[in-house]
Amino acid sequence: MLDSKQETEFEILAAEIRLETFRELAELGFGHIGGAMSIADVLAVLYGGVMKIDPENPAWEDRDYFALSKGHAGPAVYAALALRGFFLKEQLKTLNKSGTMLPSHCSRIHTPGIDLTTGSLGQGISTAAGAALASRILGGDNYAYCIIGDGECDEGQIWEAALFAAHQKLDHFILFVDANKLQLDGPVAEICCMGDIGEKFRSFNWHVQTVDGHSVAAIYRAIEAAKAAVGQPSVVVLETIKGKGCALAEEAAAKGQGIHHMLFPDQETNRREIARMEQVVSDLKAKRGSR
């Protein structure tokens, strides 16, 4: 059961993930801001308390596994890992630069805390399903979590993995769809309309829930319900807003400008945005102190 104190902690972590993600990309000058911001809340719930992890021992055998199938949103995962102590926050400034441990897409070879290398859309869900099956074969109790994008659902491999996971009854596999309704070339509904994604997974015999993807409480409850579903994999469709929490991205989207990948403006604009995000974090921490 999620109490108000833990809910506030999740909200603080989500705000901090957005702040550190923006700092990473502002330092670089460009990046996939939209899809990184839209998953901050689910990352906060997973890394803030749901997943079994050990920053001091990233290879801990009893840990839960996580795969970001939409690997271009890696900066948000890097922010979560740094905030949880897998490596120093100073490393975030090296994102996608020569010699970095933080490449553009997530790599288990380079980055502590990354379990599965991702980047080619559609493949992360398969590796996560494989991790869930391997854990069961080895007698473990590890959960495998994975995030895919709604645009990524255009990929046929998504549905091959969905069929496989259901056939194998992988009830320790929990998938999240970041349904932010935008992909590289425009609205998902115009590029290749998926219809009701949840119903499609239901037809593959998955346990399905659709929740507000920016409500940490709703996400937490959905995970609890997913764990109670025995004998089938679970998918949680997250209704999200691409660029959520980043004023620059939200304003650009409102003007009809693409925010899948953005060039960042002048340093003064970046400083103002960072100050605004820092205030959000500060206000949430004040809320924590008043409880």
* pLDDT at site 57: 97
All structural domains of the chain with their residue ranges: 4-289
* pLDDT at site 290: 66
Give the number of other Cβ atoms within 10 Å of residue 78's Cβ: 30
Output the six-digit token pair for 270: 């970046």
pLDDT in tens, 162-186: 999 999 999 999 999 999 998 888 8
State the distance between the two ends of the chain, measured CA to CA, in whole angstroms.
18
Output the six-digit token pair for 274: 């960072």
pLDDT in tens, 188-230: 999 999 899 999 999 999 999 999 999 999 999 999 999 999 9
pLDDT in tens, 6-26: 999 999 999 999 999 999 999
pLDDT class of 126 with cuts at 50, 70, 90: very high
Share of the chain above pLDDT 90, in %: 88
> Considering the chain, what is the average pLDDT of its residues?
95
* pLDDT at site 287: 84
pLDDT in tens, 58-99: 999 999 999 999 999 999 999 999 999 999 999 999 999 999
Q: How many CA atoms lie within 13 A of 23 on its CB side?
A: 21
Q: Which amino acid is at 160?
A: E
In CATH terms, 4-289 corresponds, of 3.30.70.890, 3.60.15.10, 3.10.560.10, 3.40.50.970, to 3.40.50.970
pLDDT in tens, 229-240: 999 999 999 999
* pLDDT at site 119: 82
Q: What is the 3-state secondary structure (H, E, C) of the chain?
A: CCCHHHHHHHHHHHHHHHHHHHHHHHHHCEECHHHHHCCHHHHHHHHHHHCCCCCCCCCCCCCCEEEECCHHHHHHHHHHHHHCCCCCHHHHHHCCCCCCCCCCCCCCCCCCCCCCCCCCCCCHHHHHHHHHHHHHHCCCCCCEEEEEECHHHHCHHHHHHHHHHHHCCCCCEEEEEEECCEECCEEHHHHHCCCCHHHHHHHCCCEEEEEECCCHHHHHHHHHHHHCCCCCCEEEEEECCCCCCCHHHHHHHHCCCCCCCEECCCHHHHHHHHHHHHHHHHHHHHHHHCC
Distance CA 11, CA 25 (A): 21
**For residue 3, is pLDDT > 80?**
yes
* pLDDT at site 291: 61
Average pLDDT of the residues in 125-145: 97
